Chain A
Amino acid sequence: MSGYRFDSIDKLVNTQDGFISRELFVDSDIYKAELEKIFTRAWLMVGHESLVPNPGDFYTSRMGEESVILCRDKAGIIHVFLNSCRHRGMKVCRYESGNTSLFTCPYHSWTYTTDGRLQGVPLYKSLYDGVLDREANSLVSVAKLANYKGTIWATWDPEAPDFLTYLGDAKIHLDQALDCRDGREGGSEVIGVHKWIFPANWKFASENFLGDTYHNPSHRSVDLIGIGPSAASGKKGRRDDELAVAQHVWVSFPVGHGVHSAIQPEQNQYVESFLDNPVLEEYFRHCYEERKRRLGDGARLLPFVGTIFPNTSYHGRQPRGLCAWHPHSPTSTEAWRFFLVDKDAPQEVKDYLRHYYMRYSGPAGMTEQDDLENWLYATSASMGTVARRYPFNYQQSLGAYTSDHPLGGDVSLQVTEQIARGYYNGWAAFMRNASWDEITGGDRKGAARHAAE
């Protein structure tokens, strides 16, 4: 479609009135611009340190459309490299994971050490001596890398703010997903990854995980039959009941991050949630009390879901996990879904939770299958010439939020599309090459000036 021009970003994204053009979800020019303007600038989640525990361990991952190697070098330092040889671009690593001391290119055998340096060049003396600068031909490295509580994030932009600045006030929500169930910081591990490809625009998934609570009816089938941790004991629904008495909050942050969390009442008590397994019930009760003891009033904040702009999502309760929605084309997405669990949880707990995860999440998950169906047909039914003339409606709970709340950001106490509107405001800022200061909310005047223009 040639109907789109970059000077009209604001016509595509009208969060004031609550309309977002369908072009964002189907147009190939917009898609190409996203790869350039969003995926080469934003912080992207590449993986987890538990995937590369030992020196020489590697795990191939993705950033945007491109393959990257997450690697722990022989000295123990974690790197992320573009998975493409500096000579003719051959993919230097086609294994998913392993341990190595060299990445040897299959094409002409250039070989790179685990810190990315070009170490071996066949016939170097006779063909390259004095000409080839090895240093300058290392594997292309990301500009910045952050290990945040075990999750590995990277950006190609040397100007990008550090990861915590990028995260802003979304931090404490992501923390609830990454920290131990008993309140200790970090301590999680990834013990399995689902990877699959589906024909929908990547933003459907990212947006859904911001906290699209409104799509609950699409999961009616699984709620009717009950697959939660108390299902065999007769409870319907697909999850535990731990948020049953909490005040839910939907928060939109600068950059475009959005979360759906919950705040428990002051006199918060553990809610029985794992009736099918006494070991789990006991374990989670224990974690609950420990967490309360450690965090005090802070323990009232519980996570549900969230998306860190642009394409990293988390499910912070059970079944707990991280998602990377990798763009593959305007209308296809490669999903990577990481199962996350406390490293030192008892084996029976890990086993129970991974089974729960498998029946709930991913392409074989009874809950998420219905999400995928929706994302696919929402994409395909938006491709038509006529369909594209009619923007999506984002008017839900328009204006019903406060920017004056201890959680920071724009906080809604009711189901809302404010988090989606915030997400697309962030999207628009990236797409018009806004400064980092404006993107991260430091330059509110700049944003206001833009809005006034």
Chain B
Amino acid sequence: MTITSAEAPAPVETPAPLARNADYYRLKADVEDFLYMEADLLDERRFKDWLNLLAEDIVYFMPIRRNVKFGQHAERENTKLGVGISWFDEDKWTLTKRVEQILTGVHYAEEPLSRVCHMVSNVQVVGVRPDAPTGEEVEVRSRFLVYQNRVEYETYFFVGKRYDTLRRTANGFKVARREIILDQNILLAKNLTIFF
């Protein structure tokens, strides 16, 4: 894939748009339901239940965004998975550790717990792979606005895009891959203690 324009790279190749038929809208509604339910689990601090929505082989990635010259965005704007340092480059083990840490009750950066509200919008199903080796996979794009308020006055807004791969299993969708594109350069928050 060669991109010479300033467009940001999509994490996955974008297939041709899906036909807007009844199947598409049904699938989109299922996906939206899943994403809203997931947001509820996080906002209700049901972190262990949230972990159950993640595939064992999940890739959970938040690159650092950089200020680069026009024309170099595809190549250089975002740090890349597998290279260097990013905000998050997680697997199920580290995400589980993060949950365990909050649940110790002495993780002071989340003790007392923050109030967090996940808004998910602009949901689009951009691809379906019925024959993926581990079961049908659905490529989903969405936007997020996550509000975090801690203790008294400490408040952050995190706004950006998510590129998800959802895998269909006997127990519903599992998140197999999530790339989180936070629209900030210097992180305008002291910490990233919350999940996206």
Binding site for B on A (CB under 8 A): 94-98, 191-200, 218, 220-222, 224-227, 231-232, 334, 339, 351, 354-355, 357-359, 363-364, 366, 369-370, 372-374, 376-377
Contact = CB atoms under 8 A, between A and B. Distances in A.
B104 A221 contact: yes
A358 B189 CA distance: 16
A192 B186 CA distance: 13
Interface stretch (B13-21, B30-38, B61-69, B121-129): B61-69
Given A370-B109, A376-B154, A222 B101 contact: yes
B108 A373 contact: yes
Interface in B92-114: 93-94, 97-98, 100-101, 104-110
Contacts of B64: 192, 194-195
B85 A363 contact: no
Given A222-B101, A225-B101, A358-B86, A364 B69 contact: no
Given A195-B186, A372-B190, A373-B191, A98 B69 contact: yes
B8 to A, nearest CB: 16
Contact of A96 (B68, B98, B104, B193): B68
B88 interface: yes
23 contacts: A94-B67, A95-B68, A97-B68, A194-B87, A195-B187, A196-B190, A197-B187, A197-B190, A198-B191, A199-B190, A220-B106, A221-B108, A225-B101, A227-B94, A354-B85, A358-B86, A359-B94, A363-B189, A364-B191, A366-B97, A366-B98, A373-B190, A377-B151
B interface: dominant SS: loop
A98 B72 contact: yes
A200 B82 CA distance: 32
A172 B64 CA distance: 33
Contacts of A192: 64, 79, 84-86
Nearest to A193: B85
Interface bin, chain B? 35 or more
A116 B13 CA distance: 42
Nearest to A338: B85
Given A95-B67, A196-B190, A218 B108 contact: yes
A366 B100 CA distance: 11
* A-B interface, 8 closest residue pairs, ranked by CB to CB distance from nearest: A192-B85, A198-B190, A196-B187, A369-B109, A221-B107, A192-B84, A364-B192, A373-B109
A373 B67 CA distance: 28
Contacts of A98: 68-69, 72, 76
A70 to B, nearest CB: 15
Given A96-B68, A225-B97, A366-B98, A196 B189 contact: yes
Contacts of B106: 220-221, 224
A194 B97 contact: no
B73 to A, nearest CB: 11
A339 B87 CA distance: 13
A62 B66 CA distance: 16
Contacts of B10: none
Given A200-B190, A224-B101, A363-B192, 8 more contacts: A95-B67, A97-B66, A192-B79, A196-B189, A222-B101, A225-B100, A366-B97, A369-B192
Contacts of A370: 107-109
B101 A96 contact: no
A196 B193 CA distance: 14
B144 to A, nearest CB: 16
B105 to A, nearest CB: 8
Contacts of B68: 95-98
Contacts of A369: 107, 109-110, 191-193
B89 interface: yes
A96 B192 contact: no
A244 B167 CA distance: 45
A282 to B, nearest CB: 22
A224 B104 contact: yes
